[in-house]
Amino acid sequence: MDLKGFYCFMILLIVSFSDASRLSKTPVKSIKSEDGDVIDCVHISRQPAFDNPLLRNHVIQTRPKFSLEGLPANKLSNSKNLPIAQLWQLSGSCPEETIPIRRTKEVDVLTASSIHRNLHSTVARHPKQIRQEGRPKLQLAAALVEGEYYGAKATINIWGPLVQQSNELTTSLLSISRGSSLSNLSDIEVGWQVNPSLYNDNRTRLFTFWWNRFKGCYDLLCSGFIQITNKIALGGAISPLSIYHGDQFDIDVFVLKDASQDVWWLQVGKETLGYWPTSLLPNLANSASTILWGGIVFDSESDGQHTTTQMGSGHPPEEGFEGASYMKNLQVVVESDYLSPLSNPVAIAQQPNCYNITLGKSSYWGDYIFYGGPGRNPNCP
């Protein structure tokens, strides 16, 4: 089986794993957002996660059992770290004991199951595995650390990059994984992305992704992630966005393994969204071995040239604050509940003339990166 055939096979696995009952959950309330989304408020006990046979007797964890210590918070005044705002929140709110689920049609799930989506989800975490014959279709600019980790954190700058083709995507993310090949890879991702084939528009949206041994999905499109908050919708559009040479906006994302509950918790800003049970991610049952922060673009090469899809702000890292996209306060958990600075991070850029990355450290931002770029330009034909 050639590489293309292999990924087509993986598509079928993901489509079959995406539980059709996810599409028919009866809401307590529905909210029509100004961006066209419909948010269904579904009782927390009837969310898609509990359609998974592994979770049918699961007792919902209502809050994490951890406290955090670590480095001081960001001190740069022009960066506005606010509670995450989503457009649907302007039109209403979900009641207590419900969770907001972005309504998805079956045709949208099938459309989203494309080759580039699976490339993004399986090999991006391991850059050395990406095929390098000619120009790689998966463009990565990221910082990477390897070791034994129980969590990771980042403050991620939010932008609205342009996407050239509807079958391309651009994303900025934190990834936590363990596994040396596709057959034993477990992976958790969180961040923002512009992904027209998944969301049917070009808005910047909060996303999560999990992957385990040829199975996985985005947001709540299949049974897996258990959400506990009624305030944030996975897949919901984010607002406001950063302005070139203007106000900068960012969000804190934090993933932490709680051994006492046997789960990986997700926190965005001050809000605890929910968790991934380790029963879904056996290779992450104890710890992660690889943490990655950065940007990814999928280049479809539709016209035989490099895509003009932007990464980050669409500007190179040399432009710095207010010009390039950043991630700051990059930290890892190497001991129980303790955030630590990075040790020997490695910068990876598949095609630095198209998308690049720089590493840095300061008393204000801790470990940080600037990353991104415009895609096709005179030095990236």
Query: 174-192 pLDDT, tens per residue?
Result: 999 998 776 788 999 999 9
Across the chain, mean pLDDT equals 84
CA distance 242 to 109: 30
Condensed to tens digits (0 to 9), the pLDDT of residues 121-165 reads: 434 445 544 444 445 688 999 999 999 999 999 999 999 999 999
Sign, Cα dihedral of 150, 155, 160, 162: negative
The predicted-structure confidence for 309-319, as pLDDT tens digits, reads as follows 999 999 999 99
Q: Residue 358 to residues 141, 184, 345, 347, 355: CA-CA distances in angstroms?
A: 9, 31, 11, 7, 11
Q: What is the pLDDT of residue 81?
A: 60
**Amino acid 177: pLDDT:** 94
Residue 158 near residue 236 (C-beta atoms within 8 A): no
pTM for this structure? 0.88
Round to whole Å and give the CA distance between 285 and 259. 9
